[in-house]
């Protein structure tokens, strides 16, 4: 039996790394750039990258309303870094008007872009993650953090008092990049969410 068909939004960012990670944990990963490709997947992963660039391309390809509708209808999704920003209901410091990052409202949360600082402030470290026996080695690159969560949002990990991993129903988000470390537990968790095992 094959795993769930999970799309990776392939507009910009760590697309190849996420495709490989999903394949390693038993999913059938496919790149998504068009409406027909989005319609054909069970779930969607929004990778790290540059949230304003990704938002610009979502507008150009007329995918914003489609994505919001799929999320509202319960499509499972996972966003890492820029993907977390896009899955928010509200974005602090969203960017310049006309090129601002677009909140897709997948999770009832407010996210601050580049909250930990610029590229030179990027860092990595071990983070305790709810439900996992061992800490996750997390890589933060111009990472966001969560400033507010709604009542239905579960905080899974924190750094410096700020949530950096959250879940609401079938939607998961991390401000760090698990695709670059070789630790597949976050991707396995997402597959389990998609298949209803957790």
CATH code, domain with 110: 3.40.50.880
pLDDT given for residue 100 in this prediction: 85
**pLDDT, averaged across the chain:** 93
170 is in an annotated binding site: no
- Of 125, 110, 136, 122, which Cα lies nearest the Cα of 189? 136
Domain count of the fold of the chain: 1
pLDDT given for residue 198 in this prediction: 80
70 is in an annotated binding site: no
142 is in an annotated binding site: yes
- Of 66, 87, 83, which Cα lies nearest the Cα of 150? 87
Summarize pLDDT for 95-135 with one digit per residue, the tens: 666 678 999 999 999 999 878 766 655 789 999 999 999 99
Average pLDDT over residues 168-184: 96
Are the CB atoms for 10 and 38 separated by under 8 Å? no
185 is in an annotated binding site: no
pLDDT at 16 over 50: yes
Average pLDDT over residues 136-146: 92
113 is in an annotated binding site: yes
pLDDT given for residue 113 in this prediction: 87
64-73, 96-105, 155-164: the lowest-pLDDT one: 96-105
Summarize pLDDT for 179-195 with one digit per residue, the tens: 999 999 999 999 999 99
Residue span of the structural domain in which 79 resides: 5-195
At residue 120, the 3 state secondary structure works out as helix
pLDDT given for residue 176 in this prediction: 96
pLDDT at 158 over 90: yes
Summarize pLDDT for 32-50 with one digit per residue, the tens: 999 999 999 999 999 998 9
pLDDT given for residue 118 in this prediction: 65
Task: Please report the sign of the dihedral spanned by the C-alpha atoms of residue 88, residue 150, residue 92, residue 174.
Answer: negative
- For residue 192, CA distances in Å to 4, 8, 22, 77 come to 10, 16, 11, 12
For 14-34, letters b (16+ CB in 10 Å) and e give bbebbbebbeebebebeebee
**pTM as predicted:** 0.94
124 is in an annotated binding site: no
Are the CB atoms for 104 and 142 separated by under 8 Å? no
C-alpha–C-alpha distance, residues 88 and 180, integer Å: 23
Tell me the percentage of the chain whose pLDDT exceeds 90: 81
Average pLDDT over residues 148-161: 96
Are the CB atoms for 74 and 104 separated by under 8 Å? no
pLDDT at 1 over 50: no
Residues recognised as catalytic: 81, 177, 179
């Amino acid at each position: 039996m094959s795993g769930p068909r999970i799309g990776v939004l392939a507009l910009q960012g760590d697309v190849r790394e996420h495709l490989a990670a999903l394949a390693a944990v038993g999913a059938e990963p496919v790149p998504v750039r068009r409406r027909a490709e989005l319609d054909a997947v069970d779930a969607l992963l929004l990778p790290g990258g540059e949230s304003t660039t990704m938002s610009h391309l979502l507008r150009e390809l007329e995918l914003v309303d489609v994505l919001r509708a799929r999320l509202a209808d319960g499509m499972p999704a996972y966003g890492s870094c820029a993907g977390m920003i896009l899955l928010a209901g509200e974005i602090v410091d969203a960017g310049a008007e006309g090129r601002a990052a677009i909140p897709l409202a997948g999770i009832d949360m407010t996210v601050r872009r580049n909250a930990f600082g610029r590229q030179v402030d990027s860092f990595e470290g071990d983070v305790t993650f709810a439900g996992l026996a061992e800490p996750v080695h997390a890589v933060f690159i111009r990472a966001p953090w969560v400033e507010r969560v709604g009542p239905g949002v579960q905080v899974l990990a924190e750094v410096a008092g700020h949530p950096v991993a959250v879940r609401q129903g079938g939607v998961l988000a991390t401000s760090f990049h698990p695709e670059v470390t070789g630790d597949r537990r976050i991707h396995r968790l997402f597959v389990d969410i998609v298949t209803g095992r957790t």
